[in-house]
Structure 1
Amino acid sequence: MRRLRTKANCPICKEEDETVAHRFRYCKLTKQVLQELEVTLSNRNTENDWNKWLVTELGNKSSQLYVTTAVAFWAIWFSRNKFIHEGILSKAQEIASFVRNYTIEISQTEGITEFLQRNKNDTWRPRPPEGDQVKANFDASFQKLLKRATGGVIIRNNEGL
C-alpha cells in the first residue's frame, strides 16, 4: 500500500527539503550516481527554474552524455519512488550500473534502426491475406516485479475485419 509522506525533507539524504532541484542537483545520491557515470553538471548553470535548468544542462552535452544524463535522472527518480513505496534503497553503484546497461541497449537499438532505415525497401507493404485466409498478430508483455502478464491477438480477414 502506498504511504503519504508527511515530511518535506529528502527521504534519501535527509539533508534538505525535497524539491526537484534538490533531487537532481544537490542530493548526495544523485551526485554519487553522476560521479560513477563520469557526468558533470555545470557550475555555471544557476538557472532557478527547473525546466530551464534542465534544457540548458542537457543542451550543453554531447549526444551520448545527453542520453546518459537523461537515463540517470529517470533511474534516480525511479529509485527514489521505489524507496518511498517499497522501502528499498538502491546504491549509487547499482543505479549507475543500470544506467550504463540501459544506454548500451539504447545504442544497440539505434544501430538496428539505422540499419533498417538504410536497407528499407519502399515497395514492400503489408498485404491482407488472400481469399478466405485470415492473418493473426499476437503480442504479449510480462512484468516480472508485478508478476503480471498480458497478451492480445488481432485476427483479420482480407477485408480487415
Structure 2
Amino acid sequence: MALYKGKEYTEGNNIEQPQELSNTYTRLWGLNIPNKIRIHFWKIINESMPTLWVLKSQKLVVNTLCPVCQVEQESVAHLFRDCDFLKQVLEGIGVVSSTSNIDQNWKQRLVEEVLNNSITGFRLLAISYWALWYNRNKIYHEEIREQVHEVIGFINAYMLEIEQLSGLSRSGHIPKHIIWEPPEGDIIKFNFDASFNQ
C-alpha cells in the first residue's frame, strides 16, 4: 500500500518481514550509483511510481495499456516484473530472477531479488530498472521506441561509466585544503566569468 497524492492505493499485500525491507533499504542507500537511480528504485519498492494504473485511479488518464508491450495494464508489478520487453532486456544483460513464483507478493519478490543478489548484480538491476523507466517515458511522451539491444547497450555503457568513475575516485588523491592568499609583489589577479581577449 502506498500514498499517491494523498490517497491510498495498492497493487499487492504489504511486506511481511520489516527487517528484510530494512536490510533492502540499507543495501540500496549504500549502493555506488547516482542518487536519481537510488530514489527511483526506492519508488519502485514502495509502489509510488506514476504508472498509468495509478494515474487512472487519480482520474488523470483513461487508457492504462502498457505503452512498452501494449498487452496488459501498466502497473509497477507489470513494468518491472511481467512486461515481455523487461524480460528480454534483463535476459540480455544476464540478470536472472532468483525466484520464479509469479504468485508471490510483488514487493516481497523484489526484496528477495535485492537481498539474494551480489552488490554488482543489485547495481545492475537498479540501473536496468531506471533505464527501462527512461525508455518507457520516451515511448509514452516522445513516441520514440528503442529496440531491446539498444536499451541493453545503454545499460552496459552506463554501468561501465559508473565503474570507471568509481575507480578514478578511489585512485585519485584528495587535495589539501588550499586557502587563498593575495599574489606577491606588484601582481594583480582578475577572475572572469566570461572570455577575455587581451
In the superposition, the TM-score normalised over structure 2's length comes to 0.58
Residue identity in the other structure for 1:15:
V
Distance 2:178 2:112 in 1: 43
What amino acid is aligned across from residue 83 of structure 1 in structure 2?
I
SS of 1:125 mapped into structure 2 = coil
Identity of aligned residues (%): 32
Does residue 93 of structure 2 align to residue 41 of structure 1? no
Question: In the TM superposition, what is the alpha-carbon distance from 1:53 to its structure 2 partner?
Answer: 4.1
Work out the CA distance in 2 between the residues paired with 1:94 and 1:62. 25
Cα deviations across residues 93-127 of structure 1 (Å, max 9, x unaligned)?
A: 100111001101100011011112xx435xx1032
Q: Secondary structure at the match of 2:66?
A: coil
Q: d(CA) in 2 for partners of 1:9 and 1:134?
A: 60
CA distance in 2 between partners of 1:40 and 1:65 (Å): 9
1:120 is matched with which residue? 174
> SS in structure 1 opposite 2:106?
coil
Q: Is the deviation greater in 57-66 or in 34-43?
A: 57-66
Whether the 8 Å CA contact 1:11–1:84 is kept in 2: the answer is: yes
Hey, what's the Cα distance between the residues in 1 that align with 2:85 and 2:100? 21
**1:39 Cα deviation after fit:** 0.5
What is the rounded CA distance, in whole Å, between the counterparts of 1:84 and 1:5 in structure 2? Answer: 12
Given that 2:99 and 2:109 are in contact with CA atoms closer than 8 Å, whether structure 1 keeps it comes out as no
Q: How far 1:14 sits from its partner (Å)?
A: 1.9
23-32 or 52-61: which moved more?
52-61
* Shift, 1:48, TM fit: 2.9
SS at the partner of 1:106? helix
Partner of 2:19: none
2:119 and 2:140 map into 1 onto residues whose CA distance is 32
Q: Higher relative contact order by CA 8 Å / sep ≥ 6: 1 or 2?
A: 2
**1:60 positional shift:** 1.6
The within-5 A match list for 1:55-134 is 55-116=111-172, 119-120=173-174, 124-130=176-182, 133=189
Residues paired across the two proteins, number: 129
CA RMSD of aligned residues (A): 2.3
Cα 1:44–1:126 change in 2 (3 A) is farther
Q: Per residue, is there more strand in 1 or in 2?
A: 1
* Residues 9 and 16 of structure 1, relative CA distance in 2, 3 Å threshold: same
Instruction: Report the TM-score when normalising by structure 1.
Output: 0.70
Which structure 1 residue ranges, 5 or more long, are not aligned? 137-152, 154-161
1:126-145 alignment runs, 5 A limit: 126-130=178-182, 133=189
